[in-house]
A and B are shown apart, each in its own frame.
Chain A
Amino acid sequence: MEQSFNLGWIDYTIILVYFVFVIGIGWALKRYMKSATAFLEAGRSLPAWVTGLAFISANLGALEVIGMAASGAKYGMMTIHFYLIGAIPGMVFLGLFMMPFYYGSKARSVPEYLKLRFDEKTRAFNAFAFAIMTVLASGISMYALALLAQVLLPFDFTVTIIGINITEFDFYLIFAALIVLIYTYLGGLTSAIYNEVLQFFLIVIGFLPLVFLALKHVGGWEGMKANLDVGMLHSWQNTGSSDANPMGVEWFGVVAGLGFVLAFGYWCTNFLVVQRAMAAGSMTAARKTPMIGAIPKMFIPFIVVIPGMIAIALLNDPSIDFTLPVKGDSFDYDKVIPTLLATHFPTGVLGLGVTALLASFMSGMAGNVSAFNTVWTYDIYQSYLVPDKSDNHYLRVGRLTTVFGVIVSILAAYVAKSFNNVMDFLQLIFAFINAPLFATFLLGMFTRRTTGHGAFYGLIAGTIAAAIHHGLTAPAGLHSQIKGGWLGTNVHHYHSEMAQNFWTAIYAFAACFVVTVLISLLTRKLKTNEQLKGLVYSLTPRLVDKEMVWYKRPATLAILVSIMAIAFTILFW
């Protein structure tokens, strides 16, 4: 059963107000976009709270909101591992130890840092992989938005323009892409960041009433607990062995796979998020960015994971008439949020909830498009295609890249629509490429002996290790070879896809680490210590925070964030 929304004039007015502001922000920023730095790096001038909220918001796209609610419904409280151990430590590490090199080195992007620290081929590998991955992610976001809008909004039409049939699905897709295009084209990275901040508040204010009403429906926190399996209520308690908990992983897989490799890899090396911190106005602001983001990040599970758990509790309570749409032989967990919205919100706040969802889809796209812009313009166009032009030239190219990025995203969205498997396959390849990346950064930033050859072949080795591990193992309930086991023999069976992913990451990291070290020892160090200054820990002058008041220092913030994360961990043990 699909629930479609009953939207009234007030709901459409709210959506319209949002669109006016989104475009308005882009328009207001237009006259400040006078250089490539302003357009592609936000002029490195934003306050820490803005970049901090954008930092978590760029990741809080709708796929994340919907996916985390689905995960909450499937795995319960264990989903908060993605926050407390999967994000917070990585964010603190980035702020304390890595930001000084990213921000201080004057690199304009993560791939550019790789070029300064290692060599051209390592940068090229990372830049191309990242560029393709971002347009793909933005395309998938568009596709998901159009699909959801098609199901939820009450319109249904087909118009024929010059022989092409345009349905409401195409209309939503093109419309959303157009809005994103306009505001990113006008205001560049600043516009994308400002809209991410706007989206953050929209999600909080739009979803808090939903959590409140749904909790009331199920009989409060106690009512929710009473209607859930005890395994759904704990994050660590049942991780002694992989068959004792709904996620099918043991504590080591969570700590090493998710907490160490995947989380640090994502939060510390993914340019989509790191770019937000690099847009900050000062070194201190850049270092504080991920840690300021970490504080609201810890509360996000309350508005995305808890609704998923409430939905299951509502299903389990025999006295409550509530159901989720069915897909195949199980519930369609991706519909948790839309279903809760449709069954709890009257017209009015419903418009606000829909706007929050729309906003998170669109800023998910804009975030990817703005990161793509920078990497394409600086790391591909300026480096390999047309170097040594005026700043004005690269500003124009940055603008045009926005158009190009959005068009490619639209194409990717249609590829996703027609070949679901191709998309899954590509995402898998990128997972393989990303998994070992953190080993490269760790070795590169903290040892001066790591060489360019070491880094490059280490990355290749890590990617191959990930692919082989994935090919030799299978998760429970294997349906297609995209989920694993494509090498024919299955050496090991995991209890879940999640467990398989965590272990793929562990093997990729280990392989990259070992190969990077070995090749570095066998090859000559080509960069002098002078060249590595500002890029490697031991060759960079320590930052002195002493003249700052103690409570304004990044380290103080790091301690505060850690204490909060530990408190939450104990609370939901």
Chain B
Amino acid sequence: MGIDIRFPIGLMFTILGLLLTLFGLFSSSNSELYKISYDININLWTGIFSLVFGLLMLVFALKGKKKIVLEEKEV
């Protein structure tokens, strides 16, 4: 109905992914911060994961939109 939910999902996880990835990169030298996560930069990894997921969703959404436009043209 109305809007394709893949757009907002994709956009949100892309933004959250970017936030976490950047924060992870800038805080990577802060070993005190990552003591709690056994020296794993969990922000960076979760950020990348979320970013990839968000972008994938956006790609699917754009593909889906193209398909709808094509179908409308045929009619």
Interface residues of A (CB under 8 A from B): 10, 13-14, 17-18, 21, 24-25, 28-29, 31-32, 38, 42-43, 45-46, 50, 190, 194, 197-198, 201, 205, 208-209, 213, 216-217, 343-349, 352
Residues of B within 8 A of A194 (CB): 5, 8
Interface residues of B (CB under 8 A from A): 1-3, 5, 8-9, 11-13, 15-16, 19-20, 23-24, 27, 33-34, 36-38, 40, 42-43, 45-46, 49-50, 53
- What separation, in Å, do the CA atoms of A489 and B72 have in the docked complex? 71
Provided the pairs A13-B19, A198-B8, A352-B46 are in contact, do residues A345 and B2 lie with their beta carbons within 8 angstroms? no
Q: List 8 A-B contacts (CB under 8 A).
A: A28-B2, A28-B8, A43-B1, A46-B1, A190-B1, A198-B5, A346-B36, A348-B20
B41 to chain A, nearest CB (A): 9
- What separation, in Å, do the CA atoms of A213 and B43 have in the docked complex? 12
A313 to chain B, nearest CB (A): 16
B61 to chain A, nearest CB (A): 12
What residue in chain B is nearest A213 (Cβ atoms)? B37
Provided the pairs A205-B50, A346-B43 are in contact, do residues A17 and B19 lie with their beta carbons within 8 angstroms? yes
A267 to chain B, nearest CB (A): 23
Question: B19's contact among A14, A38, A46, by CB below 8 Å, is which?
Answer: A14
A352 touches B1 (CB 8 A): no
Residues of A within 8 A of B38 (CB): 213, 216-217
Residues of A within 8 A of B9 (CB): 197-198, 201
B37 touches A344 (CB 8 A): yes
B36 touches A343 (CB 8 A): yes
B5 touches A28 (CB 8 A): no
A481 to chain B, nearest CB (A): 45
Residues of B within 8 A of A50 (CB): 5
B37 touches A345 (CB 8 A): yes
- Residue from A13, A198, A348 having most chain B Cβ neighbours under 10 A: A348
Residues of A within 8 A of B11 (CB): 21
- What separation, in Å, do the CA atoms of A345 and B23 have in the docked complex? 14
Residues of B within 8 A of A46 (CB): 1
Residues of B within 8 A of A197 (CB): 5, 9
- What separation, in Å, do the CA atoms of A17 and B46 have in the docked complex? 16
Q: Which 9 A-B pairs have the closest CB atoms?
A: A32-B2, A348-B43, A21-B12, A45-B1, A194-B5, A209-B46, A43-B1, A190-B1, A346-B33
- What separation, in Å, do the CA atoms of A163 and B42 have in the docked complex? 47
- What separation, in Å, do the CA atoms of A345 and B34 have in the docked complex? 8
- What separation, in Å, do the CA atoms of A31 and B3 have in the docked complex? 10
B16 touches A348 (CB 8 A): no
B24 touches A352 (CB 8 A): no
Residues of B within 8 A of A190 (CB): 1-2
Residues of B within 8 A of A45 (CB): 1
A24 touches B8 (CB 8 A): yes
- What separation, in Å, do the CA atoms of A253 and B54 have in the docked complex? 44
Residues of A within 8 A of B50 (CB): 205, 352
B37 touches A198 (CB 8 A): no
- What separation, in Å, do the CA atoms of A261 and B19 have in the docked complex? 46
A209 touches B15 (CB 8 A): no
